[in-house]
Amino acid sequence: MPYWGQLLLQDPVTPVMVQLIQLHDHVLMILALVVTIITYTMTSLIINKYTNRFIYEAQEIETIWTILPAIILIFLALPSIRLLYIMDESFNPYMTIKSIGHQWYWSYEYSDFEGLEFDSYMVPTDQLTSGDYRLLEVDNRLVIPVNMPIRLMLTSSDVIHSWAVPSLGVKMDAIPGRLNQTSFTVLLPGVYYGQCSEICGVNHSFMPIAMEAINLKDFISWLKS
């Protein structure tokens, strides 16, 4: 979770989110360079008093300002396409979890462990304990092992929802009658929060996501409990 007033992205805990932040910084660097050059050029044209009445066309300059943006777009497109393929890469997951969106809570089913399923409701403000996050804490957290590839299957029982956890770099729509798939591998243990990111009704703001990543030994103990 970021600190209050923090303007940057949340700290990444998955390889994909690390590369998303790198792409974000890469794009901002190119954007800053382009804005600086254009601002300098426009300022120079406005404040200088030089004119040349013999210049009627500038084919060299037109060629440059046609080719240069194309080169810049290539530097933006190649890392973006590469990251899209990485995010869509198929693999052999350690386990599969099915998440179902409801108005207005999430339910989880551990497909590899028969009978392991539960609902996850937001904890009301008057029931929070010291240290809990308001509107983000739930009664049953999604528990996963760290350093293990996880496949998440998403669907909805009523309207369109969206399962989003910023630290993971995951945002996937849960659509009625359709099964969407995403994947992630959490590198660090901890509790990571998210929220439904698709307006789904009057209590849209009250169906948070709380995911607890623990080591494999503790995860096995949790399964047995």
The angle, 0 to 180 degrees and rounded to 10, between the axes of the packed helices 59-87 and 15-47 is 160
pLDDT below 70 — which residues of the chain? 1-6, 52-56, 89-90
Q: What is the DSSP letter of 4?
A: T
Residue 209 structure tokens: 């996501």
CA–CA separation, 145 vs 113, rounded Å? 14
pLDDT confidence of residue 44: 87
- Structure pTM? 0.81
CA–CA separation, 14 vs 29, rounded Å? 23
Residue 100: which H helix or E strand, with range?
Answer: strand 95-102
Burial of 87 (0-12, 13-18, 19+ CB in 10 A): middle
In the chain, what are the helix, strand and coil shares in percent, each to the nearest 5? 35, 25, 35
H helix runs in the chain, sequence order = 15-47, 59-87, 216-224
Number of Cβ within a 10 Å radius of residue 12: 19
pLDDT confidence of residue 6: 65
Domains of the chain: 15-88 (1.10.287.90), 95-223 (2.60.40.420)
